[in-house]
Structure 1
Amino acid sequence: MGVAGSKLEKALGDHFPEGERYFGFENFGNTCYCNSVLQALYFCVPFREQLLEYYLKNKKQGEVDENILSCLAELFSQITSQKKKTGVIAPKRLVQRVWKENEVFRGCMHQDAHEFLNFLLNQLVDALEKESHKVTSGIQTSVEGVLNGPSNGQINGGVKKEPLVTWVHKIFQGILTNETKCLRCETVTARDETFFDLSLDIEQNSSITSCLKNFSSTETLNANDKFFCDKCCSLQEAQKRMKIKKPPRILVIHLKRFKFMEQLNRHKKLSYRVVFPLELKLSNSMEDADSEYSLFAVVVHVGSGPNHGHYVSIVKSHNHWLFFDDESVETIEESAIQTFFGSAQEYSSNTDHGYILFYERITAADSKS
């Protein structure tokens, strides 16, 4: 990487950001799915800052249990503390921990980057919740011991505690509202659900905006799909739609490029051209004002099918774009991003397609949240 590293430094020259580090990741046998997601998360600034803060706090406290959270925090700290500006790092400890925790990712099989992202974020949440529970339990035990003597097992008078909101939730979690309107009595039933990413169906020659509109479009429930209305106490025709009630700080969009084809009895990759803009506005899909987002990372799937291929990532850092391909890191022009939109024809030599998109919220409302 010495030559490649010096090449990158030369390309950036005086524009190399102060204090920033650009390091490729070693591949341990088809771990590109992991490397591409890690690069996107590293350049998610609020996520990186929280992870580094977590690492420093735990370092002061001494030994902590090794888990995916501690391994990821250590990896990010390792990158930021490098004396060199560029180079290669082996995320071996983290990868081995992933293999230990989840057999799906073991071995040298090609894995799905979106599945890995979901697994990773949920593992971080689980670790933070366990740590919070330990702290809370310790405080309660000592307080009850002082005030009440031996504990009778009652916590907070038997009141159920609210789910913990971790910094992972604050960064990635949004809220969807599933609305169903009975067409007989016009009663609207609303049910909220949280999400870390939005998985969108795609069509040929479309855009993220149109995909989001389709996601929030109204669907009629009739015939065998009628809705049981509690007010009418019977099955009724209804209209259903999904809205984004609360947009997240970091909006992660997963394009459903792998579709199961019954006639083929296997999954097929959709190479559809889907335009993803550098600036995205969420409108007509939420209750409050429009929210604006800025693209900062894309995980790209390279290849013609779901069970083989390669993952790379492109990220925005300090107003310039970088291309990460495992150990290799190089600059790319902003105009080159459109080459990852997909193919206008079904069969094309271009197999590099945007798969997971990372947008950061840039509206004033973000500063209030």
Structure 2
Amino acid sequence: MFGDLFEEDGDGFSSSTPGTGVKGRECEPPPPRGKLKLCGIKNQGGTCYLNSLIQTLLFTPEFRGELFHLGPDELGCLADKDKPEAKVRVIPLELQRLFSHLLLVDEKTASTSDLTDSFGWTNNEEMGQQDVQELNRILFSALESSLVGTSGSSLIHRLYHGTLVNQITCKECGNISERQEDFLDLTVSVRGVSGLEEALWNMFVEEEMFEGNNLYRCSRCDQLVRAAKSAKLRKLPPFLTISLLRFNFDFAKCERYKETGSYAFPLTFNLRPFCEQNDWPDSEYSYELFSIIIHKGGCYGGHYHVYIKDIDQLGYWEAPVKCENSVDAEDPLSVLTGILAQEESKCVLVDQLGQKLMNKTGTPWSKKYKKQYGTISKFLQNHPEVFMLVSDGTHVALKAAVPATTEPSPTEPVSSASANNSTENIEPETAGDTEATDGCHWFDLNDSTVTAITVKDIKKQFQGKESAYMLFYRKTAMKRPPEAIGNSAYKVPPHLVELVQEENARLQQRRAEFDASSNSIEVRLHLAPHYHWQNGALHPVSPNEDSIITVTFDRRKTVGDLRLAIYQMQDLWEGDMALTLAKNVPAGLHLYDTLTGERISFILSQRFVSGVAVKTGVEWEPVLLTVLRPSAEELGCGDGSGVGDADGSGMVHSMKGFAGGATLGTVLEALGPQEAFLCQEQSRPGASGGGMMTLPALQDVCVPSPAFLRVWLLECKKLARILRGNQKLKLGNGADVCVERLMKEEDLGLKDLLLRVQMGVPGEKAYYPFEEFLWDTGRDSTSRGLYAALASQYGLTPDSLLLAKHLPDKHTWMPISNWTQQVSKRKKKRKAESLQAAPFYLKDGDSIGVKVNLIQKNLFILSTVGEAAVETIPKIPICHYSSGPTKNRKPEVALSISVGVFR
């Protein structure tokens, strides 16, 4: 009902006191989950890489279930972690607690501080940025070490371990030499390939030949022979983790850089062509994408977030509302594809394609896309799966046989049976082609923010500074039980469910208490019998009597509820009761809006306090004036008695209150006739000049008109600028001004600048007395304009003058150069800089030194007095800096996780 009605300052009717009412943000309980029903993770400063990996592991159903299967009898209890004899496996225990929190606690975000503490991070390691691929390997190693001796000791090995074999086949005798390697993640190249399938084809299908000068020594033939080297996948894990080599090293520049080119990856694909055994069922080779960790930024810093497929359908997904036009305009591939598809001939000149793009988007390619994607010709060549260059590369058309969003087969020469088998089983369902048909939707988990996304959004992570960095695939043969779908508590241990229920109860109680306290206000009641009317405002009858009654009230209730509560407190109150908002102003207490019935009504009628009519409302808000007048001694009135307090300056201070609707005549009548004038805050110079002539200090000054007065504005007791023209002054209260009498009329324009010009005495450290020079900056405010104006004044040529601005604070001169840079005709001429801007900042009253270049060869020198003043200026040490820009980067710290010994 009341809302923010009572949020006022002061001791009025409705102000709240510190310590009551709305509490601070630090007391506010964490907000509940949003409508998506998924929980984010707080960033501790630089832990976005950890958050992304934790969310991926959480939404890996089999990993989550295996972790929850481990009980306290195997892992121990966190309460005993500080006991030396207890072997508590802290890392898996904290990971269990974090998973249960993310699944079941009604909180928008969770914290990983307990987990990072279990890592042994005690030196602010969480503030540094690390590589998520490195963290993935180190965290798996830490979990394996922590689970030694438990039923989960083979957890990582069962879910993520795979093997590949490197073979060298002798072409002479057929002998095969092989070496087997284990892997938890496959590291694939990004540079020089169009996508994941081409990279895997190069790794596991293509053979490297040893021939010519690069022969292989066969152990059976015992001689150098021709041989072929190849690699195959021997054992496929249930979960295939792929790390993309986005970061490379430029040996020419001796620095790292990030590969931002297009790199496509499929939603589902078949690994049969890449495996050593090809007689397994198809389900053993088929994988589906369920997580993408994305890196945004460069080699030396950035941000991670993750796209997650909700396999167990734990979240609530709704289609995001986006503007299709704005999204398409950011993707040059879709824009160019649309342009070519609308052409009747389906073929466009490459030279005309840029113009057609500008006509459609309103922005040329060079401004919108060139920095990220290169020239338009290079972009077309980098997407051969979409565009086809014909007529010697002068025309471009869409490939009719290949859809624009489908990745091509990485190799063209296909003749073997294995290649035909690959074509049948590897149907590249590229990310972005299809929508979810299995009921599982995608979400973007970006630290504490969770948003719903579509499958088409995955395609945006193919390239650019924000692109995919790690891919997580899951075997399609792994099916989830029906009871796991939509059940966040599935396989969560009972003791963790109990802890979650207690936490939710505490959160619910905190939110209820905070809701009540945030809507509780203190209403201060000022009873009318305890006040009287004086100087346009209400004042307490007795200063010692407590005339304020405090009532704590719920702002959501009505005025009727407030009136009823007050009646119950004031048993002796007789008659009707009017509730009016009040506020303490400098003049006293003032009444504003009257509250009636069940709503707020703005009744600005007269009220009576102690029999006196009180005017209410904003327009009658009282004003308290501070009046300064000469004391009786200053006026020569004898005994010095007067109203107010006199200070040492001979002025008497007094306070006088007036109603807001009082007229200027009422104020002057109350203050009495004084030798003063009133000047409006935003009056014009002409009006202020006329008013100043009535001041006592200027009564003896005889000038024909205000035009013979020059009014200066003072800043720090120094002349700053001249008040001129008919524009509003916009001077603040207490502004200092200086009045200068002139020998002739002066009407300065807005573009006129008054300078004090001093000509140097030839051969001496001295200058002639200054002369006032009026410079019209409206014609030319540059150094050339000033040189030309002064040359015309002295009858010389601009090239024969040397000018400088005097800096009185530093006791030195600042040369003003007349040299202008010669600009090539092909280059755009740079606009000359005004002397009123940096670094000169010329203003009214500045001193300009002038020397004749032909006579006075020396530069501007100080006078003898100036040299003595320079000696008093503190010497500032000169810092020498090495040339060339340097980048200050934080030293890289190795990532590590501390694990106890459990063997």
Bin of the TM-score, shorter chain as denominator length: 0.7 to 0.9
Aligned to 1:179: 167
Q: Distance in 2 between matches of 1:2 and 1:264?
A: 49
Aligned to 1:320: 441
1:354 aligns with 2:468: yes
Corresponding residue SS for 2:460: helix
Shift of 1:58: 3.7
Q: Distance in 2 between matches of 1:37 and 1:179?
A: 34
Shift of 1:87: 1.4
Shift of 1:35: 0.7
Q: Distance in 2 between matches of 1:204 and 1:339?
A: 19
Aligned to 1:118: 137
1:189-228 residue pairs with structure 2 within 5 A? 189-203=177-191, 206-216=194-204, 217-222=206-211, 226-228=215-217
Choose from 446, 461, 465 the match for 1:340: 461
Aligned to 2:304: 311
Residues 292-316 of structure 1 show CA distances to partners (whole Å, capped at 9, x for unaligned) of: 111111100011x122000000101
Q: Which has the higher contact order (CA 8 A, sep 6+)?
A: 1
Q: Distance in 1 between matches of 2:266 and 2:133?
A: 20
Aligned to 1:140: none
Of stretches 64-73 and 316-325 in structure 1, the one that deviates more from structure 2 is 64-73
1:300 aligns with 2:421: no
1:257 aligns with 2:246: yes
Residues 322-357 of structure 1 show CA distances to partners (whole Å, capped at 9, x for unaligned) of: 1111111111112111111114xxxxxxx2101100
Aligned to 2:33: 5
Amino acid at match of 2:195: S
1:1-369 residue pairs with structure 2 within 5 A? 5-9=33-37, 22-55=38-71, 58=74, 64-82=87-105, 84=106, 87-100=108-121, 106=125, 108-129=127-148, 131-132=149-150, 166-203=154-191, 206-216=194-204, 217-222=206-211, 226-286=215-275, 287-288=277-278, 289=280, 290=282, 291-303=285-297, 305-317=298-310, 318=313, 319-343=440-464, 351-363=465-477
Q: Distance in 2 between matches of 1:35 and 1:107?
A: 11
Corresponding residue SS for 2:56: helix
Amino acid at match of 1:93: D
Q: Distance in 1 between matches of 2:49 and 2:77?
A: 33
Amino acid at match of 2:457: A
Of stretches 323-332 and 52-61 in structure 1, the one that deviates more from structure 2 is 52-61
Q: In structure 2, do the counterparts of structure 1 residues 354 and 4 end up closer, same or farther at CA, with 3 Å as the change threshold? A: farther
Residues 236-274 of structure 1 show CA distances to partners (whole Å, capped at 9, x for unaligned) of: 442111111111100111111011111121221101211
Q: Distance in 2 between matches of 1:34 and 1:310?
A: 11
Q: Distance in 1 between matches of 2:210 and 2:145?
A: 37
Q: Distance in 2 between matches of 1:257 and 1:36?
A: 17
Q: In structure 2, do the counterparts of structure 1 residues 182 and 110 end up closer, same or farther at CA, with 3 Å as the change threshold? A: same
Instruction: State the percentage of identical aligned residues.
Output: 27
Shift of 1:211: 1.3
Q: CA RMSD in A?
A: 2.9
Q: In structure 2, do the counterparts of structure 1 residues 274 and 72 end up closer, same or farther at CA, with 3 Å as the change threshold? A: same
Aligned to 1:141: none
Q: Distance in 1 between matches of 2:294 and 2:447?
A: 12
Q: Looking at secondary structure, tell me which structure has more helix per residue.
A: 1
Check conservation: 2:47, 2:126, Cα contact below 8 A: no
Amino acid at match of 1:339: K
Q: Distance in 1 between matches of 2:213 and 2:89?
A: 51
Q: How many residues are paired up?
A: 311
Residues 183-228 of structure 1 show CA distances to partners (whole Å, capped at 9, x for unaligned) of: 3322011222211110001245612211111111211235676444
Aligned to 1:150: none
Q: In structure 2, do the counterparts of structure 1 residues 78 and 6 end up closer, same or farther at CA, with 3 Å as the change threshold? A: closer
Of stretches 312-321 and 260-269 in structure 1, the one that deviates more from structure 2 is 260-269
Shift of 1:90: 0.4
Shift of 1:235: 4.4
Amino acid at match of 2:303: H
Shift of 1:276: 1.5
Q: Distance in 2 between matches of 1:241 and 1:67?
A: 43
Q: Distance in 1 between matches of 2:167 and 2:153?
A: 25
Q: In structure 2, do the counterparts of structure 1 residues 75 and 107 end up closer, same or farther at CA, with 3 Å as the change threshold? A: closer
Shift of 1:2: 6.6
Amino acid at match of 1:6: G
Q: Which has the larger radius of gyration?
A: 2
Corresponding residue SS for 2:34: helix
Q: TM-score, normalised by structure 2?
A: 0.32
Q: Distance in 1 between matches of 2:217 and 2:110?
A: 56
Shift of 1:284: 1.1
Residues 26-76 of structure 1 show CA distances to partners (whole Å, capped at 9, x for unaligned) of: 111111111111111111111111111125654688855244333323322
Shift of 1:285: 0.8
Check conservation: 1:204, 1:272, Cα contact below 8 A: no
Q: In structure 2, do the counterparts of structure 1 residues 196 and 187 end up closer, same or farther at CA, with 3 Å as the change threshold? A: same
Aligned to 2:670: none
Q: Distance in 2 between matches of 1:113 and 1:59?
A: 26
